[in-house]
């Protein structure tokens, strides 16, 4: 499998409503950190995740987290 593009070397703070979302795993989305379909034709697929309550979440911007889609600080080692 290919390596994802590093979209940014910091987490993305996003205020989300309860619902289902699709996290960009390839790093190519123009709608970071969420998927916009840019992965088509690659080895990547979006990661579905659910938010239970409204609020801020910190999603991974570097695409190297060990706890996707949430930031775990992996960007500090890139």
**What is the structure's pLDDT at 2?**
86
DSSP state of 77: G
Pairing of strands 19-23, 47-51: antiparallel
Q: Is the pLDDT of residue 68 over 80?
A: yes
- Confirm whether pTM is higher than 0.75: yes
Q: What is the mean pLDDT of residues 31-47?
A: 96
Residue 20 pLDDT grade (very low, low, confident, very high; cuts 50, 70, 90): very high
Most distant pair of Cα atoms in the chain: their distance: 34
Residue 1 pLDDT grade (very low, low, confident, very high; cuts 50, 70, 90): low
Q: Which residue has the tokens 């790093």?
A: 27
Domain ranges of the chain: 12-77
Nearest to 23 by CA among 63, 74, 75: 63
Q: Is the pLDDT of residue 36 over 70?
A: yes
């Amino acid at each position: 499998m290919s390596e994802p593009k590093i979209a940014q070397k910091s987490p993305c703070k996003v205020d989300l409503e309860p619902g289902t979302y699709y996290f960009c795993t390839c790093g190519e989305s123009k709608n970071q950190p969420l998927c916009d379909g840019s992965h088509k034709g690659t080895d990547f697929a979006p990661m579905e995740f659910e938010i239970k309550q409204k609020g801020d979440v910190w999603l991974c911007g570097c695409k190297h987290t060990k706890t996707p889609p949430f930031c775990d600080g992996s960007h500090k080692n890139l």
